[in-house]
């Protein structure tokens, strides 16, 4: 009996609020072209989304991040820092991440990871 309780407790602690797990294995709640995020993504605040966009800036320091042409800030997960060296300004990327903030001045996705460009992508239509 005690083993079941301990196992349930460990699972609850491990999976509740574990954004790394959601980022790696969770299905996106929605997918967007970067130009549509500001107008249509607010309903997905706090959820995993996918955004297809063009890289405007790459910041490869300890807290690595991308800025897309539309100004969307994409902060990498700790494990994603290694990917930053492979990304150049002007590259088209598919970013999976948790939509943390959305307002007219700033859209933040954190943490994010890069998505396989060959994976299914069906952006929401207007």
What is the tally of structural domains in the chain?
Answer: 1
Give the CA distances from residue 109 to residues 4, 11, 23, 65, in Å, rounded to whole numbers and listed in that order. Answer: 37, 26, 11, 10
Q: Is the pLDDT of residue 61 over 90?
A: no
Determine, yes or no, domain membership for 120: no
Question: By the 8 A CB rule, do 126 and 92 touch?
Answer: no
pLDDT, tens digit, 9 for 90 and up, residues 19-32: 444 445 568 999 99
% of the chain residues with pLDDT over 90: 53
Determine, yes or no, domain membership for 61: yes
Q: What is the pTM of this model?
A: 0.78
Determine, yes or no, domain membership for 71: yes
Q: Is 108 helix (H, G, I), strand (E, B) or coil?
A: strand
Res 105: pLDDT: 84
Q: Left (φ > 0), alpha (ψ -120 to 50) or beta: where does 78 sit?
A: alpha
Domain, as residue range, for 109: 2-114
Res 104: pLDDT: 87
pLDDT, tens digit, 9 for 90 and up, residues 3-20: 555 444 444 444 444 444
Determine, yes or no, domain membership for 121: no
Residues 6+ apart with CB under 8 A from 77: 20, 23, 111, 112, 113
pLDDT, tens digit, 9 for 90 and up, residues 78-101: 765 666 778 899 999 999 999 999
């Amino acid at each position: 009996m005690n083993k079941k309780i301990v196992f349930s407790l460990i699972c609850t602690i491990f999976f509740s609020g574990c954004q790394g797990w959601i980022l790696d294995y969770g299905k996106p709640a929605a997918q967007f072209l970067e130009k549509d995020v500001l107008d249509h993504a607010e309903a997905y605040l706090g959820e995993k989304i996918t955004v297809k966009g063009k890289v405007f800036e790459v910041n490869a320091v300890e807290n690595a991040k991308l800025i897309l042409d539309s100004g969307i800030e994409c902060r990498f997960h700790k494990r994603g820092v290694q990917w930053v060296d492979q990304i150049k300004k002007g590259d088209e990327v598919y970013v999976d991440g948790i939509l943390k903030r959305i307002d007219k001045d700033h859209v933040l996705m954190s943490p994010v990871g890069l998505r396989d460009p060959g994976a299914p992508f069906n952006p929401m239509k207007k």
